[in-house]
Amino acid sequence: MITLSIIGLDPYLVRQISKEMTPKLANLYEISKDEINFYAPECLYIHDGVEQNTWNVLVKVDAPLKVKVLEKDASKIIEEYLKDACINLEIIFSYYSLDNRYEFLNKDYPRFMTEKNTVEVEEYDEESEEDSDEEPYLGNVFEGLEDKLK
């Protein structure tokens, strides 16, 4: 499993970039696309109290030690896909032994959510409610309530 954490970019932009970058990385590493994940937090990348988002972007790549030999090629692919989304880019690779990786999967569910198995909720249209011809009640909604409580 290879995880790319991208800090300093809009997560929705990373979502699109990840769709394009994943096949290239999978091909380089000779692994399935299912073995590559992206983490894109909604956060601020800060230096000296000033937001750096899109100006400076940090990519942390966590990968098995056996793919370390492909690091330079991987950095070129990452740079290729992120160069137009930021001014400055830093990539840090960290490697782990497969002996130090544990995975607990629920066999009752698919391994990943996909566009095919994800339920899309219709967006609520506030404008349609605002454009309603229905007038709000302007009377006293508590009229007669005091008499009933006595």
The pTM is what?
0.74
* C-alpha to C-alpha distance for 42 and 56, rounded to whole angstroms: 15
Bridge-based pairing state of the strands 56-64 and 2-7? antiparallel
Q: Which residues of 63-99 are buried (b: 16+ CB within 10 A; e: fewer)?
A: bbeebeebeeebbeebeebbeebbeebebebeeeeee
User: What's the pLDDT score for residue 128?
Assistant: 64
Backbone angles phi, psi at 147, to 5 degrees: -65, -40
Q: Which SS3 state, helix, strand or coil, does residue 44 take?
A: coil
Quick: pLDDT tens for 31-72. 999 999 999 999 999 999 999 999 999 999 999 999 999 999
Residues 6 or more apart whose CB falls under 8 angstroms from that of 140 comprise: none
CATH code of 2-100, in short, is 3.30.429.10
Maximum Cα–Cα distance across the chain: 84
Average of per-residue pLDDT across 85-100: 95
Backbone angles phi, psi at 128, to 5 degrees: -65, -35
